Chains A and B, each alone.
Chain A
Amino acid sequence: MIRRILFNLMAWGIVLAVAFPLFWMLVTSVKPQFELFRRPPTMLPETVTFEHYWRLISQTNFLTYFRNSVVLSLSTTFVVVGIATLGAYSLVRFRYRGRESLAFLVLFTYLLPSVVLIIPLYLMLVSLGLSNTIFSLVIAYTTFALPYALWLLRSFMAGIPEDLESAALVDGASRLGAFKDVILPQLLPGIISTALFTFILSWNEYLYALVLVNSDSARPLTTGVMNMLISSFNIEWSLLMAASVMMSVPLIIVFAFLQSYLTRGFGAGGVKG
């Protein structure tokens, strides 16, 4: 019994240590300016103020950036997961020339550093007339999200017993019919899990957003917040922390609900190389 309590205390000690930056972010975001630069810093705010949040919402472009980020991440997730599901199905369940090398290519594309792809990609987007739009970032994000999603889904797909599909085919279903009725429901946890990872990747991306987009109407949160609050004449720590909280809280809420999917999905297919 005592061992159990000790173990719990230790476990929670670690958890709280890991989460301490989250706590500190919250505390800083509600401290008024003058308390922020107090030395030594106060552990709990002496005066709690929500003015930073209010300023962020009412006086800055924060909400626009937020909307852009949501649209951007959702579209990326949608496009990438859609394409990758079909691709993974094809790679796992069909036989044709070049299948193996394609699978290796997927792995190889992981290796490409974003810095290299930026300029050629940008030129391509401009020639398509897409520069400075959210859509251009969706395209750019597929460069890193698609290989990852494809690869994740491929291992999930491999975990679904082949008999199920065969049975449906014997019963007279078409290949696509079987895909819809048998494979998709089985794959759902995998799809949700992949979608979450894709969403996280696109929500957090910085470099492409920095170079490819320079218009407030298309700028996502990552570069928007940095651009807006860190400048050569001021670092608005309290606003930065308030922005950080607002950028993170929606994600945390969503993931708190979907957390079981995240782990379950990963386990069901078993991550296989």
Chain B
Amino acid sequence: MPLPTQTALERQYSLLGLMLIAPTVMVFCAVIVYPLISAIYLSLFQIYTPTLQGSWVGLDNYKVLLAKGEFWTSLKNNLIWTVGTLTLQIVFGVLMALVLHQNIWFRSLARSLILFPYFISTVVAVLVWRWLFNDLYGIMNHLMMMAGLIDFPIDYLGSMPNAMISVILVGAWKYFPFVVIAVLARLQTIPDALYEAARIDGAGPIARFFDVTLPQLRDVLVVIIMLRAIWDFKEFDLIFLLTGGGPVIATQTLPLLVYKEAFALNQMGMAAAYAVVMMAIMLVFMIVYIRRTRDKDA
């Protein structure tokens, strides 16, 4: 709040501050706010995608959508996928960060190899996994048959629950390095003195993890969980390229449903309505999450 007693220097500073933020605000308005408003506006129409011609239907799109089983199935899938892959990412990411924080052989190389899945394109990741999963020439089936785990090739991507499990696993594989990076960075800043003190108090390695490491990691985990949750919730490329939502709609999440409405059914208005609902759901989750984590801080 600018007060009447503000000095000339302060006023000059806030002006400079506004100038520095101006490019950001302009870009935001152009590439995010404008499309967002158009999306909300489009959701009130019935629109043929290629012409963008349509007629006003008000909130009808929303009524249709909420009454449709497909919406609820996709939402359910979306939640299963997000919770599943996020949990794996966090658990495996933290564990791996702890391992890589130790002084293991060729640590640098090990770190690079672990970070590798995160660097490669989703397209590459999907291609490689589809090749690994291939029913006839894929190495996964071959290795598992050699190990005696299965007698007959498994259909990884085309039947349930395999498809959902595969998608979740590939998602976890692709994105857990992000957690490793952040946690590893934080681990390096935990003062050794804390561990020393815990050791003097007689805490074993497991107790030290829960009493010292985890509280120190709390802040970073709160943030990572939120970031990854948002990204996973709106993930499109990975699922679309891996299963396309199949079998039937068993792995179809909301972004895929939006894509299908917009470009396969050419119903842009309906697609926009799905997207708006999807954003609303994420917003609710986010606000609840932020509230919860803030409360604990207080």
Contacts and interface: CB of A to CB of B under 8 A. Distances in A.
Within the complex, are A and B direct neighbours (CB within 8 Å)? yes
Interface of A: 7-8, 11-12, 14-16, 18-19, 21-22, 24-25, 28, 36-41, 43, 83-84, 86-87, 89-91, 93-97, 102, 105, 107-121, 123-124, 139-140, 142-143, 146-147, 150, 175-176, 200, 203-207, 221-222, 225-226, 237, 240-241, 244, 247-248, 251-252, 255-256, 259, 262-268, 270-273
Contacts of B138: 41
B160 interface: no
Given A38-B137, A94-B14, A25 B128 contact: yes
A255 B112 contact: yes
Interface string B88-132: 000000001001101011001011111111111111110111011
B55 interface: no
A223 to B, nearest CB: 8
Given A15-B113, A111-B286, A255-B112, A203 B32 contact: no
Nearest to A175: B16
A267 B101 CA distance: 13
B17 interface: yes
A87 B18 CA distance: 9
B128 A115 contact: no
Interface string B8-46: 000001101110110111011011101110110010000
Interface residues of B, number: 96
Given A86-B23, A272-B223, A109 B116 contact: no
Interface stretch (B182-190, B191-199, B206-214): B182-190
A113 B136 contact: no
Given A95-B17, A241-B128, A19 B113 contact: yes
A97 B20 contact: no
Contacts, number: 272
B120 A251 contact: yes
Chain B contact residues: over half helix, strand or loop, or mixed? helix
Interface in B123-178: 123-125, 127-129, 131-132, 136-139, 142, 145, 173
B35 A121 contact: yes
B282 A259 contact: no
Chain A contact residues: over half helix, strand or loop, or mixed? helix
Contacts of A107: 286
Contacts of A21: 117, 125, 128-129, 132, 173
A259 B114 CA distance: 11
Contacts of A123: 52
Given A119-B49, A204-B123, A39 B136 contact: yes
Nearest to B231: A110
B104 A12 contact: yes
A121 B127 contact: no
B121 A139 contact: no
A252 B105 CA distance: 20
B120 A244 contact: yes
A222 B121 contact: yes
27 contacts: A7-B104, A12-B105, A14-B99, A18-B114, A84-B24, A89-B20, A95-B17, A109-B32, A111-B234, A112-B36, A113-B255, A115-B259, A116-B36, A116-B275, A124-B35, A146-B28, A175-B16, A200-B118, A206-B123, A221-B123, A255-B112, A262-B115, A264-B185, A267-B186, A270-B186, A271-B182, A271-B186
